[in-house]
Structure 1
Amino acid sequence: MAFHGQNYQLVTLDDIPDAIRDEFPTLPLDQYCDGKFRHRRFSQYRIRHTSAWELELLPHRPFCQATQFNGVTGGLLREYEPLRIDPSPLVRAGAETVPLDETLEWQVDVHQWRVIVNDETRGVSVPEGPHQDGHTYSMIAVVDRQNIGGGQTQLMTLDSDEPFLSLTLGPGEAIVLDDRAMRHYATDITAPAGQEGHRDLFLLAYNTWPERRYGETYEAAVLNGTW
């Protein structure tokens, strides 16, 4: 499998184990969001290819993004609890879809999210609006949708807010994209009046090891505004 001519590829995931599905209701609230709509865990890995892509869990550190990529919570060191599941199948699916250069080592961020919506909570999928994340490749993988509308994934060129692709990823579906070539967005989720719904997903981000988004040097550059 390889990228579509517009620098993205849709992927059907293998069956997702119950051990992963059962983790989503336990995700802690994301304290950095303005509203109680997102719950989240986060871990980082170094991967290398031998006979397959092998993962090395990196020592846990805060998550941070440059303000040029995130105008809402960029420039902050955000503390999240680490994943409690093994994301190896998802990491390999993204790596094989691109496919990543097997002669290089890569660094991967893995975010596990639940976005909820009810009468008191707006189901904000992407607080920062259409954006790039500053990574080389990204994968958005949906695990579950319950009692919701919306949550439509949209891809835009760098110079237009009009999506060239709009689709609703169902459970077990993912999209891998070249983050340098486009912006992405997802519409808010909605639920019937008086009811609650949720959207469970993973976001994975890939960078070569020399361009890693990890460690004290990277964090200092983000905080100093030099990244």
Structure 2
Amino acid sequence: MTLNKWHYQLLTLPELPAEVLEEFPTLPVDQYNEGKFRHRRFSQYRIRYADGWQPELLPHRPFCQATEFNGVTGGLLREFEPLQIDPAPVIRAGAEEIPLDHGVEWQVDVHQWRVISNDDTRGISVPEGPHQDGHTYSLIAVVDRHNIGGGETQLMPMDSDEPFLGVKLQPGQAVVIDDRKMRHYATDIVAPRGEEGHRDLFLLAYNAWPERRYGAEYEKSVLTGA
């Protein structure tokens, strides 16, 4: 398949191994957001096409975004622990759905998240509000929803906060977008009073290797605002 005329596509994820699902409860707290609503790991990959997309794990580095794309935690080198599982099935699903150019190597960011909600913790899905990620393509993949309302994924044009798509992605569902063409957001999750709920997901970002968001040179450009 390919992206539709609105530059996105919904898709179904391949079935993930049990060890992937079992990893979400172990995710460390994201220390860069106030509160303990987000738990997170992060790794980066280089992929090339050879009878299918072949991911290569890159040496671990901090995650960073320009303040242009993240006004809350942009402009920082954020240290996250690396993934403990193999996200190759999710990487391939997004690469094939777009579909990425087989003649180009790509760099992929993979974020593994759990957002929680309880009486003491507001389940903030997107602290920075409607935004772009500053990549070429992005994939939002929901792995689990437990005991929550909310968590609606929204896509909106560059010049409006009015969504042209609003969907509560269910476990095993994902959306891939051309990040250059739109902004995206997700509403907060809410668990019943006196109970806890969570939303587990992967967020992937794809950039052609020559425009990679990886390495010392890229990190320097983010820190200096170049």
Q: TM-score surpassing 0.5?
A: yes
> Which residue number corresponds to residue 28 of structure 1?
28
Q: Give the letter aligned to residue 186 of structure 2.
A: A
Indicate whether 1:3 and 2:38 are aligned: no
**Residues 145-164 of structure 1 correspond to what in structure 2 (within 5 A)?**
145-164=145-164
> Which residue number corresponds to residue 92 of structure 1?
92
Deviation of the 1:219 alpha carbon: 0.2
Query: Alignment partner of 2:101: what SS?
Result: coil
Q: Give the letter aligned to residue 202 of structure 1.
A: F
Indicate whether 1:178 and 2:178 are aligned: yes
Distance 2:206 2:158 in 1: 20
**Residues 21-100 of structure 1 correspond to what in structure 2 (within 5 A)?**
21-100=21-100
* Sequence identity (%): 73
**Residues 128-207 of structure 1 correspond to what in structure 2 (within 5 A)?**
128-207=128-207
The aligned length equals 226
Distance 1:167 1:57 in 2: 32
Superposition TM-score, scaled by structure 1 size: 0.99
Distance 1:146 1:4 in 2: 30
Deviation per CA, 1:178-201: give whole Å up to 9, x if none. Answer: 000000000000010000000000
Query: Alignment partner of 1:92: what SS?
Result: helix
Deviation per CA, 1:142-196: give whole Å up to 9, x if none. Answer: 0000000000000000001100000100000000000000000000000100000
Distance 2:134 2:2 in 1: 21
Distance 1:34 1:218 in 2: 26
Q: Give the letter aligned to residue 154 of structure 1.
A: Q
Distance 1:218 1:150 in 2: 35
**Residues 200-215 of structure 1 correspond to what in structure 2 (within 5 A)?**
200-215=200-215
Superposition TM-score, scaled by structure 2 size: 0.99
Distance 1:210 1:120 in 2: 44
Deviation per CA, 1:105-163: give whole Å up to 9, x if none. Answer: 00000000000000000000000000000000000000000000000000000001100
Q: Give the letter aligned to residue 88 of structure 1.
A: A
> Which residue number corresponds to residue 116 of structure 1?
116
Query: Alignment partner of 1:62: what SS?
Result: coil
Unaligned runs of 5+ in 1: none
Unaligned runs of 5+ in 2: none
Distance 1:123 1:202 in 2: 16
Q: Give the letter aligned to residue 50 of structure 1.
A: A
Distance 2:51 2:57 in 1: 18
Query: Alignment partner of 1:203: what SS?
Result: strand
Q: Over aligned residue pairs, what C-alpha RMSD do you find?
A: 0.4
